[in-house]
């Protein structure tokens, strides 16, 4: 199959241009919100809390807060990126062009992944001004960040196809993803919980994302890095299968 890189580039550039046109909302807003967490929890409250797994509390929450924002931004960017063309009807112009579903997917999801990684990188750089931060495994850190951004951008793409209104577009991120992220160990170690709640928390997929990402910083994690990679890869595979099914059936794209 011959890939139309020009079409992918056109969709990608259009989505990135939209980001820079709304940079205060797309980039500045999540960075400022996360910076407030660093100020309150890292600098203010963190000074009065004991270390967690040998890491100061302020530094301990940096990977969790970064992952929390990356999850939210990946889903939001990808879901809105595909939903808005459906809402205004311009998606049919794309579908009628000599562009495959794969190329459409790469363009939209690639842009959403890039935006999420940009926000995550800026947050990590900003955190250095508030807490002492070091990364033991920078390549693993980038890998976890990329896999998470890509996986949840695919999830956002699925949500954007599924939603038939702006209410549904916000439903899953607000009621499912954000609570799971907060309960996934962003602000604490799962090992600090009672045994029963530790077992319950293991059913939360976000635990594995945050744990693996935190391991790349301090070699401290609630689950093994191999398990984290397995869970991220499994989630990515499930999202790919769902997207493939959507394209095969034309679900809410052909009507």
- Helix (H) or strand (E) run with residue 12 in it: helix 5-21
Strand partners, 52: 55
pLDDT > 90? residue 247: no
Cβ pair 208, 221 in contact under 8 A: no
Q: How many structural domains compose the chain?
A: 1
With respect to residue 255, please indicate whether it lies within any of the assigned structural domains. Answer: no
For residue 67, the model assigns a pLDDT of 92
With respect to residue 48, please indicate whether it lies within any of the assigned structural domains. Answer: yes
With respect to residue 221, please indicate whether it lies within any of the assigned structural domains. Answer: yes
First to last CA, the chain: 26
With respect to residue 24, please indicate whether it lies within any of the assigned structural domains. Answer: yes
With respect to residue 205, please indicate whether it lies within any of the assigned structural domains. Answer: yes
Say if residue 137 is exposed, middle or buried (CB neighbours under 10 Å; 0-12, 13-18, 19+).
middle
pLDDT (tens digit, 9 = 90+) per residue, 106-154? 999 999 999 999 999 999 988 888 888 888 999 999 999 999 999 999 9
Domain hosting 179: range is: 5-249
pLDDT band at 33, cuts 50/70/90? confident
With respect to residue 171, please indicate whether it lies within any of the assigned structural domains. Answer: yes
pLDDT > 70? residue 21: yes
Look at the chain and count its residues: 255
With respect to residue 224, please indicate whether it lies within any of the assigned structural domains. Answer: yes
Q: What is the largest CA-CA distance in the chain?
A: 60
For residue 93, the model assigns a pLDDT of 83
């Amino acid at each position: 199959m011959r890939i139309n890189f020009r079409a992918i580039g056109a969709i990608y550039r259009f989505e990135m241009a939209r980001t820079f046109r709304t940079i205060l909302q797309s980039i500045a807003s999540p960075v400022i919100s996360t910076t407030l967490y660093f100020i309150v929890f890292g600098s203010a409250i963190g000074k009065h809390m004991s270390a967690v797994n040998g890491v100061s509390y302020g530094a301990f929450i940096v990977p969790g807060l970064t992952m929390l924002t990356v999850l939210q931004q990946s889903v939001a960017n990808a879901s809105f990126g595909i939903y808005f063309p459906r809402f205004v009807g311009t998606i049919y112009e794309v579908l009628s062009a000599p562009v495959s579903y794969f190329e459409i997917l790469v363009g939209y999801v690639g842009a959403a992944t890039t935006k999420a990684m940009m926000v995550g990188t800026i947050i990590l750089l900003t955190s250095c001004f508030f807490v002492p931060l070091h990364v033991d495994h920078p390549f693993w850190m980038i890998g976890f960040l990329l896999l998470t951004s890509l996986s949840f951008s695919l999830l956002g793409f699925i949500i954007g196809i599924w939603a038939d209104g702006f209410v549904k577009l916000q439903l899953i991120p607000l009621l499912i993803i954000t609570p799971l992220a907060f309960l996934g160990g962003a602000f604490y170690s799962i090992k600090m919980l009672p045994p029963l709640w530790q077992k319950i928390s293991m059913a939360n997929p976000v635990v594995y994302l945050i744990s693996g990402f935190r391991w790349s910083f301090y070699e401290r994690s609630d689950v093994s890095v191999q398990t984290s990679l397995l869970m991220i890869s499994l989630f990515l595979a499930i999202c790919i299968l769902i997207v493939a099914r959507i394209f095969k059936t034309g679900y809410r794209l052909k009507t």
